[in-house]
């Protein structure tokens, strides 16, 4: 039986788009560029700002200076500036030169720093020197210009740009290499995962997606999927078991039924013979129907969660009713039945289904306990949870079979030849009812015998 028969749909060609690593790269590189630009802008504007502040401070002193005093001090200042790095100039109202080492009055706005250049003859030839300057009109009607060479700042600027560009290039190169490596690694993992997925889809349900045992995102996802696959494998296995179980279990009564009908057809006896054979046939078909009903009931219980039929029920009362129903059977088998229900125990549930669960547990216990044995039924509170327990003095269930007995149609190895064995659905039904009631179904050793208990731990 193939549970997963559909072939995977061929995915349409995906639109070309950046992988997550690509996007990360773009974001990283653009933020590196922005950071470097900001660094450059802040540094260079800080240095210029310092120069401007000095210029403003200096011209503020000249603002109210007298005419002759101005010419004299500018002349003295410019004489001291041998390197021509801090030139001064004083000009008349009409712009004619009066003193200083600035020869022309620059056509600029007053009191606002500006850039200008001046050619200068040095030993190595004529060079253009860059200056920052400011003009201030004095109260005496003069125009005083103060300059400051910014060549050093410009050199520093160029060095800064070079350094930043080199750093940026290195960063981008590193990012691209790392991104490509990451991309390759994740692609390789995805390829490995998709390969395993295809194998699983092709029917190898025992395969699992590869993990590395790290706490990586992909690893955590893979372990979730693997847990899901475990559950799917279990369910598919169960379905397979049920199908095989149904086929195997129904073949026997159907064969008997067919054989009986065929025999009476061949012999063609009296009306009584026919009536008798029909009765036998009805009995055998009833057996088949009973199994189907039980199977359907399990399916129906497993399909739903909490139902409208749920209400507060007294577990000890239901227990007493079941025991009362089974008293004649226990007497007949020579078994003693004891109830231990010291305090009332109430739970929320479906009274009919719980009756069914207890009935199946008790039926199971009575069936497998040899004559002279004892079956004890108990309800109590254990660790704050209501607990229902059925113990017997029968052969018990091997530890490796305790899970398997909950599967439909599973029969214990020891019970295989036993004619008293039931339809193999009783404990599956109990398990389904337990799940529906949020109860744990536990099977323990009773030494000798078996101890089955339902622990109603809630949803």
Partner 1 sequence: LASDLPQPIVRSIGRKHRVLVVEDDRNAALEVTAALEDYGFAVEHVSSGHDGLLRAMGGEFDAVVLDRMLPDIDGLSILATLRNIGMRTPVLILSALAAVDERVRGLRAGGDDYVTKPFDGLELTARLNVLLRRHSSAAAPSMLSVGDLTLDASTHLVQRAGQTVELKPREYSLLEFMMRHAGQVVTRTLLFESVWNYHFNAQTNVIDMHIGHLRRKVSLNGRMSAMIHTVRNVGYILNAAD
Positions touching partner 1 (CB under 8 A) are 275, 278-279, 282-283, 286, 290, 293-294, 296-297, 300-301, 303-304, 307-309, 321, 324-326, 328-329, 332, 350-353, 355-356, 359, 363
Q: By C-beta, is 230 or 327 nearer to partner 1?
A: 327
Q: By C-beta, is 91 or 326 nearer to partner 1?
A: 326
Q: By C-beta, is 257 or 294 nearer to partner 1?
A: 294
d(CA 428, CA 245): 13
- The helix, strand and coil proportions of the chain, stated in percent and rounded to the nearest 5, come to 55, 15, 30
**Cβ 355 to partner 1, closest distance in Å?**
4
Q: Which residue has the tokens 């403003």?
A: 56
**Cβ 448 to partner 1, closest distance in Å?**
25
**Cβ 304 to partner 1, closest distance in Å?**
7
Q: By C-beta, is 1 or 303 nearer to partner 1?
A: 303
**Cβ 453 to partner 1, closest distance in Å?**
20
Q: By C-beta, is 66 or 311 nearer to partner 1?
A: 311
Strand ranges in 31-171 using DSSP code E only, listed in sequence order = 88-91, 97-100, 114-122, 125-137, 143-149
Enclosing H/E stretch for 191: helix 151-201
**Cβ 320 to partner 1, closest distance in Å?**
11
Residue 332, token pair as written in the block: 């007949």
Enclosing H/E stretch for 381: strand 374-382
d(CA 452, CA 176): 63
Edge-to-edge order in the sheet of strand 125-137: 97-100, 88-91, 143-149, 125-137, 114-122
**Cβ 256 to partner 1, closest distance in Å?**
15
Q: By C-beta, is 90 or 337 nearer to partner 1?
A: 337
Determine how β-strand 311-314 pairs with β-strand 346-349.
antiparallel
Residue 285, token pair as written in the block: 């078909």
Q: By C-beta, is 221 or 289 nearer to partner 1?
A: 289
Q: By C-beta, is 113 or 392 nearer to partner 1?
A: 392
Q: Which residue has the tokens 């044995």?
A: 373
**Cβ 31 to partner 1, closest distance in Å?**
60
Q: By C-beta, is 66 or 305 nearer to partner 1?
A: 305
Residue 337, token pair as written in the block: 């039945």
Question: Which ranges constitute the DSSP H helices of 202-216?
Answer: none
**Cβ 28 to partner 1, closest distance in Å?**
58
**Cβ 413 to partner 1, closest distance in Å?**
24
Q: What is the number of residues in the chain? A: 459
**Cβ 300 to partner 1, closest distance in Å?**
5
d(CA 455, CA 458): 9
Categorise residue 447: left if φ over 0, alpha if ψ from -120 to 50, beta otherwise: left
Enclosing H/E stretch for 452: strand 450-456
CA distances (Å), origin 456, targets 103, 186, 309, 317: 103, 46, 17, 16
**95 closest CA partner among 80, 81, 109, 105:** 105
| Burial (CB count within 10 angstroms: exposed 0-12, middle 13-18, buried 19+), residue 294 | buried
Q: By C-beta, is 353 or 387 nearer to partner 1?
A: 353
d(CA 113, CA 134): 5
Q: By C-beta, is 249 or 350 nearer to partner 1?
A: 350
**Cβ 295 to partner 1, closest distance in Å?**
12
Contact present, 148 and 131 (Cβ < 8 Å) = yes
């Amino acid at each position: 039986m193939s549970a997963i028969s559909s072939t995977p749909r061929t995915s349409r060609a995906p639109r070309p788009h950046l992988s997550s690593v690509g996007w990360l790269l773009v974001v990283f590189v653009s933020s590196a560029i922005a950071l470097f630009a900001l660094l450059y802008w802040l540094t260079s504007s800080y240095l210029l700002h310092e120069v401007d502040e000095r210029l403003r401070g200096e011209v503020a002193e000249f603002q109210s200076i007298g005419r002759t005093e101005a010419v004299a001090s500018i002349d003295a200042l410019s004489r001291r500036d041998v390197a021509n790095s801090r030139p001064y100039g004083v000009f008349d109202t009409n712009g004619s030169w009066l003193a200083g080492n600035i020869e022309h009055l620059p056509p600029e706005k007053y009191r606002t720093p500006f850039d200008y250049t001046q050619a200068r003859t040095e030993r190595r030839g004529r060079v253009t020197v860059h200056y920052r300057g400011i003009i201030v009109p004095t109260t005496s009607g003069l125009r005083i210009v103060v300059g400051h060479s910014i060549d050093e700042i410009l050199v520093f600027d160029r060095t800064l740009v070079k350094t930043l560009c080199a750093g940026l290039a290195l960063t981008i190169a590193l990012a691209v290499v790392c991104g490509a490596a990451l991309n390759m690694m994740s692609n390789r993992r995805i390829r490995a995962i998709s390969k395993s997925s295809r194998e699983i889809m092709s029917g190898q349900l025992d395969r699992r997606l590869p993990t590395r045992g790290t706490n990586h995102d992909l690893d955590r996802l893979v372990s979730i999927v693997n847990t899901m696959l475990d559950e799917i494998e279990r369910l598919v296995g169960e379905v397979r078991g049920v199908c095989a179980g149904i086929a195997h279990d129904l073949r026997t009564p159907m064969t008997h039924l067919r054989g009986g009908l065929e025999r009476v057809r061949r012999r063609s006896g009296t009306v009584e013979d026919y009536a008798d054979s029909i009765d036998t046939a009805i009995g055998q078909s009833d057996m088949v129907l009973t199994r189907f009903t039980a199977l359907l009931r399990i399916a129906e219980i497993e399909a739903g969660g909490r139902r409208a039929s749920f209400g507060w029920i007294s577990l000890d009362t239901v227990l007493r009713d079941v025991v009362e129903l089974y008293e004649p059977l226990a007497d007949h088998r020579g078994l003693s039945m004891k109830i231990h229900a010291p305090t009332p125990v109430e739970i929320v549930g479906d009274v009919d289904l719980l009756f069914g669960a207890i009935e199946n547990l008790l039926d199971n216990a009575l069936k497998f306990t040899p004559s002279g044995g004892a079956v004890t039924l108990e309800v109590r509170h254990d660790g704050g949870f209501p607990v229902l327990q059925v113990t017997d003095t029968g052969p018990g269930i091997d530890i490796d079979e305790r899970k398997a007995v909950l599967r439909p149609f599973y029969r214990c190895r020891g019970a295989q030849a036993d004619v008293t064995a039931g339809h193999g659905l009783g404990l599956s039904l109990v398990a389904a009812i337990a799940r529906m009631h949020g109860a744990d179904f536990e099977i323990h050793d009773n030494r000798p015998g078996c101890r089955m208990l339902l622990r109603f731990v809630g949803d």
